[in-house]
Amino acid sequence: QVQLVESGGGLVQAGDSLRLSCAASGLTFDNYAMGWFRQAPGKEREFVAFIGRGGTATGYTDSMKGRSTISRDNARNTVYLQMNSLKPEDRAVYYCAANLRAVSRNRSAYAYWGQGTQVTVSS
């Protein structure tokens, strides 16, 4: 049974940093591209970042470019999202997801999803 478990969310002030983690089990982790998505209240789930199987290929949504870094540790079956200079508009539930195919910004490409971790940024 595949499980993706996110952690690291919380309540922070604008300008602060957070590092989200996603621990995967029940799959051959290094066969999967990984992604982070987020969903704000009343909005659709949107792409944040992806990382390829080997960790070299990465991509970000424009609003997070320069403020976030996605990385992975295949030995620990874990993917990370370091977020800096957080803004109130970054408030959302953040989800990690696993994609057996190539990296993608499209949420329909991802087969497995975690339950999410809440990030709240106060102004």
Paired with 80 in beta bridges are 21, 71
pLDDT, one tens digit per residue, over 50-102 is 999 999 999 999 999 999 999 999 999 999 999 999 999 999 999 999 999 88
Burial of residue 24 (number of CB atoms within 10 Å: 0-12, 13-18, 19+): buried
pLDDT, one tens digit per residue, over 102-121 is 899 999 999 999 999 999 99
